[in-house]
Structure 1
Amino acid sequence: MKKKFYIYNIRLTTGEYLENIRIEGPLEDHFSGIAVSLFPVEDAQGKTIVLSIFHIVKADLLKIEDS
């Protein structure tokens, strides 16, 4: 079964702008409950970044990749 990776540009409350962030599955699937507030994502260079749902201001979906 192929995995789908969603590529986003994300604006954080700190003003930081993260480009080409790769997430397995849609962003909203990672916010399934109140207990989930941190989740790891991958940047364009393959480096892992841990995001907090409380710091995301805006996320623009760029494309969906099948892997």
Structure 2
Amino acid sequence: MKQNYHVNANTNSHSRAIIRCANTSNIDLARRFGVSTKTIAKWRGRDFVKDKTSRPKTMHYALSETERELI
């Protein structure tokens, strides 16, 4: 299955897997993939390589609960 990435995405699941398994330093990996050392440290600390969902965890409504019940 083909993966679609955001235009500004610097890493994908393949490069993240390489980052997690690599024995080189964070600085070397950051130079190789063109990202910050903070990004490398983030992906090394995770136990997955897929993107997290970007949907909100809670829905904030403009109407109060009583206003929603009236509608």
TM-score if structure 2 supplies the norm length?
A: 0.26
Higher strand share: 1
Bigger radius of gyration among the two: 2
TM-score if structure 1 supplies the norm length?
A: 0.27
